[in-house]
Structure 1
């Protein structure tokens, strides 16, 4: 399955509460993504919470964008990526 990095901008910052409501919101994203064969692996969030860099597995960039739309999430850019691990060279 191809892997993608999705860059997003949240002008007002991303706020996900650290409670059961936040957990339910994240699990809702996971469920809606699954309908399209898209898996959210993890995300990196900037200190000011205005930018995220999210790693997804999915069949196509279009499926990644469609999943974002279903979840009401912005998409600045979708890039196909692969892992570069410094320990691979040992």
Structure 2
């Protein structure tokens, strides 16, 4: 299944509601989307998330249902290491 990086921008600083994670994961399961992890900017106004999903449309559907913004979605194939080696995500 393909991997995607999602950029989210927030108008205000967000607090991470840990209690919301199970509901978000349930919505993702229903859309066949898997949230792997996220990075949060120091000012809490931007996040970058790695997802596994069948399509960009599935990611957008899950985000809409969860009330999460999406500013950009990019399909990625791997990690480029400091050695220059490309490590596939699959």
Number of the residue aligned with 2:52: 57
Q: Which runs of 5+ in 1 are unaligned?
A: 17-21
Deviations 1:9-45 (A, max 9, x none): 01101212xxxxx332011101101001000000000
TM-score (norm 2): 0.86
**Equivalent position SS for 1:73:** coil
Number of the residue aligned with 2:6: 6
Moved over 3 A (4+): none
Whichever structure has more strand as a proportion of its residues is: 2
Whichever structure has more helix as a proportion of its residues is: 1
Q: Which runs of 5+ in 2 are unaligned?
A: 86-90
- Residue 84 (structure 1) aligned with residue 89 (structure 2): no
